[in-house]
Amino acid sequence: MDNKVKIAVIGGGASGMTAAITAARYGAEVTLFEKEERVGKKILATGNGKCNLGNLDFSMDQYYCRDKEKLEKVFRVFSVWDSISFFESMGLMVKNKNGYLYPYSEQASTVLDILRMELVRQQITVKTGIGIKAARCKNGEEVFELTDDAGENHSFQRVIVACGSPASLKKGQGMTGYCLAEGFGHRVGRLLPGLVQLQSDESFIRALGGVRCQAGVRLLVDGEEKAAECGELQFTDYGVSGIPIFQLSRIGAKALAEKKDVEVYVDFFPDQETKAYACMARLRFETQGDKNLEDYMTGLLNKKINMVIIKRLGLKPGMRAEEIGWEKIRELMQICRQFPIHISNTNSMENAQICAGGVDFAQVGTELESELVSGLYFTGELLDVDGKCGGYNLQWAFTSGYVAGRNAAGSSTREIASGSGYEEEKLKGSPIC
């Protein structure tokens, strides 16, 4: 008689494939349902097609989750080092670029190919083009019945829900996972776009469209600074984008949803020490003061930024710096370091890389099993755990997939909960390139 545990994984993304592979490696008979014609579509878009699959600079600070203690316990079971080993076990060479991890090929398709090959190697039944629209648990029998889009029923002993989120999908798509979870009595928290562009209603914003520059960016909510980032800022026709904006966007999205006032303050000279900058500004006035403002600003910032700043202070490009006087010029130089932009909205979920919110993490255990229904597990972005830009979301997908897959297969991760981890010593002598 076949004693293998029969597991269904709903969703063939990063977390679902990891869960399926892990469960099969631990002896389960696994069927993976993917509603699209191919598994892992989102992986192909990650890291601008290069797939930033993890990050060695790892701590709970990179994650948003209401129970970081519990989250840390999950990561201790399967850390960034474990995911490197996991990929190496499937034949993928991993590259370390200043802590950011990529496939050696720098092609996201390689990561997907490796996962797909392992699905075959582990003899997992992959049913593509089949979406699961309903799931229920027969009372007391430990049997889950899944109904697919065609109305066909499938029975399993355990179910891992790995349906992802609506982020980057067309409006209305990507919601089934939450419906399945709610059907089992799980709470689903408010969904907000994360890692997304910010829109501004400032009249000058269109004039800056297309400008890219290194900048320090601070996010203020109701006048109070909440977070700061540094990196390449990109101006668009409607607002601001780029990695520092993505990193701040989650806090902005939450504040906007709560009807709070959101602003970003841009420092266009992030690498200039305050005193040295003040000296430079004074010297510039003494040596270049004979110029009109347009020429005076030339040599400092992008021309479009210069013009917006001049106009913002109510000045005209043709005015001579000396005539305006030092006090006003000082103001001009200061605003270059604290340039306020009012934020009116975020771009929509369709433009977001991730979705903040989801299935309440409080209702799953450290094994990622439902606390309401035994044998039911959740992984990845479907849960209300999300990370910053830099490989942290795929890391969560791999970690949660591994933990759910292993536990669903009946091999507890509890006993190894302190055996792994991301301690600093492990950074030394890393085998990766």
Ligand X SMILES: Cc1cc2nc3c(=O)[nH]c(=O)nc-3n(C[C@H](O)[C@H](O)[C@H](O)COP(=O)(O)OP(=O)(O)OC[C@H]3O[C@@H](n4cnc5c(N)ncnc54)[C@H](O)[C@@H]3O)c2cc1C
> Given the complex with ligand X, which of 51 and 359 has the nearer CB atom?
51
Q: Does 252 bind ligand X (CB under 6 A)?
A: no
Q: Does 394 bind ligand X (CB under 6 A)?
A: yes
Structure tokens belonging to residue 70: 């519990």
Candidates 74, 126, 163, 364: give the one binding ligand X (CB under 6 A): 163
Q: Does 46 bind ligand X (CB under 6 A)?
A: yes
> Given the complex with ligand X, which of 244 and 391 has the nearer CB atom?
391
Q: What is the DSSP letter of 313?
A: T
- In angstroms, what is the minimal distance from the CB of 315 to ligand X? 41
> Given the complex with ligand X, which of 47 and 252 has the nearer CB atom?
47
HSE value, Cβ hemisphere, 13 Å, CA-based, for 373: 25
Q: Does 243 bind ligand X (CB under 6 A)?
A: no
Q: Does 250 bind ligand X (CB under 6 A)?
A: no
Residues 242, 122: Cα–Cα separation, whole Å: 40
> Given the complex with ligand X, which of 77 and 293 has the nearer CB atom?
77
Number of residues engaging ligand X in binding (CB under 6 A):
37
Q: What residues numbered 129-158 form the site for ligand X, per CB under 6 A?
A: 131-132
Q: Does 167 bind ligand X (CB under 6 A)?
A: yes
Helices 392-408 and 14-25 pack at an angle, to 10 degrees, of 30
Candidates 7, 9, 10, 56: give the one binding ligand X (CB under 6 A): 10
Nearest position to ligand X, beta carbon: 13
Residues 14, 112: Cα–Cα separation, whole Å: 8
SS (HEC) of 34-50: ECCCCCCHHHHHHHHHC
Candidates 30, 47, 236, 239: give the one binding ligand X (CB under 6 A): 47
Q: Does 200 bind ligand X (CB under 6 A)?
A: no
Structure tokens belonging to residue 348: 């929509």
The values of phi and psi at residue 268, to 5°, are: -80, -5
Q: What residues numbered 339-368 form the site for ligand X, per CB under 6 A?
A: 353-354
> Given the complex with ligand X, which of 117 and 283 has the nearer CB atom?
117
Q: Does 168 bind ligand X (CB under 6 A)?
A: yes
> Given the complex with ligand X, which of 169 and 315 has the nearer CB atom?
169
Contact (CB, 8 A) for 357 and 67: no
> Given the complex with ligand X, which of 39 and 297 has the nearer CB atom?
39
Contact region with ligand X (CB under 6 A), list: 8-16, 74-82, 317-325, 330-338: 8-16
Q: Kindly give, in sequence order, each residue whose CB lies less than 8 Å from that of residue 325, ignoring residues fewer than 6 positions away.
A: none
Residues 20, 11: Cα–Cα separation, whole Å: 10
Q: Does 194 bind ligand X (CB under 6 A)?
A: no
Residues in the chain: 433
Q: Does 177 bind ligand X (CB under 6 A)?
A: yes
Q: Kindly give, in sequence order, each residue whose CB lies less than 8 Å from that of residue 31, ignoring residues fewer than 6 positions away.
A: 6, 7, 8, 9, 124, 125, 126, 127, 154, 156
Site string for ligand X, 20-39 (x = CB under 6 A): -------------xxxx---
E strand intervals along 201-282:
212-221, 224-235, 239-241, 262-267
Contact region with ligand X (CB under 6 A), list: 68-76, 161-169, 272-280, 411-419: 161-169
- 3-state SS assignment for residue 320: strand
Q: Does 181 bind ligand X (CB under 6 A)?
A: no
Residues paired with residue 235 on neighbouring β-strands, in sequence order: 240
Burial class (CB in 10 A: 0-12, 13-18, 19+), 55: buried
Q: What is the DSSP letter of 65?
A: -
Question: In one letter, which amino acid is 224?
Answer: E
Residues 314, 266: Cα–Cα separation, whole Å: 19
Q: Does 42 bind ligand X (CB under 6 A)?
A: yes
Q: Does 111 bind ligand X (CB under 6 A)?
A: no
Residues 178, 166: Cα–Cα separation, whole Å: 10
> Given the complex with ligand X, which of 118 and 267 has the nearer CB atom?
118
Candidates 5, 7, 9, 14: give the one binding ligand X (CB under 6 A): 14
- In angstroms, what is the minimal distance from the CB of 182 to ligand X? 13
Q: Kindly give, in sequence order, each residue whose CB lies less than 8 Å from that of residue 125, ignoring residues fewer than 6 positions away.
A: 30, 31, 32
- 3-state SS assignment for residue 21: helix
Q: Does 392 bind ligand X (CB under 6 A)?
A: yes
Q: Does 380 bind ligand X (CB under 6 A)?
A: yes
> Given the complex with ligand X, which of 367 and 381 has the nearer CB atom?
381
* Residues lying near ligand X in the complex (CB under 6 A): 10-16, 33-36, 41-42, 45-47, 51-52, 131-132, 162-164, 167-168, 176-177, 353-354, 380-382, 391-394, 397
